[in-house]
């Protein structure tokens, strides 16, 4: 920033000693003027407050270059440091802290303020006409005489001496513009503001699922992403499969896995809590059977090797047959979709 100000100060673009505008100053003005106008329009039509603030920053920096080009280095530095570096940063901090999603009530609480505002506006217009009429015919004296003492002294004399009313009018216009912007950008909320508690209550009333979805895969038997998980009742949960696979039609048929589970249960396999008749009760030796773990708990080595309640030879044979059928069904190339993957 300092280098840019120094570069602008070294360009011979300032007024001459006779008060005439040089060619370099005119070129600099016509380069910066469109940028300032476009940035000002961006301030008016920007949808986000942060973008509007950035547009104001561009206008202020361009104005600082014009000040420096006219040998008003002090005024240019103040423009950058005070307005761009302090006021606009404060504005951005307020936006980030408070936000722009809340609005105040527009209910009039002070009677007669409209007529008071109208009279104040008429008086302000009269003062503005007088200031503009005086400013239409200035007498340029040149930079040498304007900065005879120093640039800050010359700026102070102009601000608090010759143009004191103009600056007061500008201050009143800025306050009016701020109030007008608040009124024009006010949005009446159509629905009440929902906090965290209200959102949770609305989800409860709508019956939406509050807990995370179960992970895909049928416990220890299948862990593929296209296979639904089992619920507490042993039924497949179709919504446990990722939505992308369901939309693409790549979800495995849950009825097939449900049929396998039914065949296993119908074959006389233990579920970890059931009881079976053993060969010992019929006079034969106790059978060492393999126990099918509960559907709600993964199978472990101890579960598979621990002798469970004995069952009859016929039941054991049917169970082994069902287990063999299931193993063949789960073999590579026999799962649904394996043939398509192979192709």
- Give the span between the Cα atoms of 229 and 222, in whole angstroms: 9
Q: Sketch the domain layout of the chain as residue ranges.
A: 2-100+123-184, 229-342
Query: pLDDT per position in the chain (343 positions), as tens?
Result: 444 444 444 444 444 455 566 777 888 888 999 999 999 998 888 888 788 888 888 998 999 888 888 878 888 888 888 887 788 777 877 777 766 554 445 555 666 677 888 888 888 888 878 777 766 766 666 666 666 677 777 777 777 887 788 888 888 888 998 888 888 887 777 777 788 888 888 888 887 777 666 666 554 455 567 777 777 676 777 777 787 777 877 776 656 666 666 776 676 544 444 443 444 444 444 444 444 444 444 444 444 444 444 444 444 444 444 444 444 444 444 444 444 444 4
What is Dmax (Cα atoms) for the chain? 130
Please give the angle made by the CA atoms of 223, 229 and 230, to the nearest 5 degrees.
Answer: 130
For domain 2-100+123-184, give the CATH number.
1.20.120
- What SS3 class is residue 230? strand
Contact 101, 49 (CB under 8 A): no
Structure tokens at 255: 């009825």
Are residues 32 and 40 in contact, defined by beta-carbon separation less than 8 angstroms? no
**CA distance from start to end of the chain:** 65
Q: Does the pTM of the predicted model rise above 0.75?
A: no
DSSP one-letter string for 137-187: S-----HHHHTSS-HHHHHHHIIIIITHHHHHHHHHHHHHHHHHHHHHT--
Q: Are 95 and 50 in contact (CB under 8 A)?
A: yes
Q: Cα separation of 229 and 241, whole Å?
A: 8
pLDDT at position 299 is 45
């Amino acid at each position: 920033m300092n280098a840019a100000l120094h570069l602008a100060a070294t360009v011979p673009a300032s007024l001459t000693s006779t008060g005439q505008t040089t060619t370099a100053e005119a070129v600099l003005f016509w380069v910066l003027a469109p940028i300032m106008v476009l940035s000002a329009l961006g301030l008016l039509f920007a949808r986000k407050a942060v973008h509007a603030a950035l547009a104001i920053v561009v206008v202020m920096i361009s104005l600082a270059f014009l000040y420096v080009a006219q040998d008003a280095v002090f005024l240019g530095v103040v423009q950058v440091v005070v307005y761009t570096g302090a006021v606009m940063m404060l504005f951005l901090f307020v936006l980030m802290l408070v936000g722009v999603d809340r609005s105040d009530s527009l209910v009039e609480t002070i009677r007669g303020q409209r007529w008071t505002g109208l009279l104040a506006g008429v008086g302000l217009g009269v003062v503005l006409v007088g200031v503009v009429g005086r400013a239409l015919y200035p007498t340029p004296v040149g930079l040498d005489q304007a900065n005879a003492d120093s640039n800050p002294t010359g700026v102070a004399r102009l601000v608090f001496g010759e143009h004191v009313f103009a600056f007061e009018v500008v201050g009143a216009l800025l306050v009016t513009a701020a109030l007008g912007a608040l009124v024009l950008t006010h949005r009446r909320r159509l629905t009440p503001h929902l906090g965290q508690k209200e959102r949770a209550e609305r989800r409860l009333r709508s019956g939406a699922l509050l807990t995370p979805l179960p992970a895909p895969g049928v416990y220890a038997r299948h862990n593929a992403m296209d296979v639904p998980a089992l619920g507490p009742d042993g039924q497949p949960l179709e919504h446990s499969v990722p939505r992308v696979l369901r939309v693409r039609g790549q979800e495995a048929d849950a009825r097939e896995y449900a049929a396998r589970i039914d065949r296993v249960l119908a074959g006389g396999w233990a579920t970890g809590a059931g009881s079976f008749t053993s060969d010992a009760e019929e006079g034969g030796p106790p059978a060492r059977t393999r126990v099918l773990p509960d559907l709600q708990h993964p199978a472990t080595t101890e579960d598979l090797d621990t002798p469970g309640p004995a069952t009859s030879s016929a039941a054991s044979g049917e169970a082994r047959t069902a287990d063999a059928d299931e193993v063949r069904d789960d073999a590579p190339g026999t799962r649904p979709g394996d043939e398509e993957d192979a192709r």
